[in-house]
Amino acid sequence: MTAVAYIRVSSTGQSLESQRDRVLDYGATTIFEEKKSGLDGARPELANCLKYLRHGDKLIIVRLDRLARSTSHLCQIADQLHEKGVELVVLDQQIDTGTPTGRLMFSMLGAIAQFETELRKERQLDGIASAKSRGVQFGRKAALTAEQIAEVQRKRAQGVLIKDLMSEYGVGKTTIYEALKAEVA
Active site residues: 10
The residues pairing with 5 across neighbouring beta strands, listed in sequence order, are: 31, 60
Closest CA to 75 of 100, 106, 51: 106
Residue 6 DSSP SS3: strand
Handedness of CA 60, 16, 68, 76 (dihedral sign): negative
Q: CA-CA distance, 59 to 53, in Å (whole number)?
A: 8
Other residues' Cβ atoms within 10 Å of the Cβ of residue 126: 10
Distances from the Cα of 61 to the Cαs of 5, 16, 93, 95, 105, in angstroms? 6, 12, 10, 10, 15
How many separate helices (H) and strands (E) can be counted in the chain?
A: 7, 5
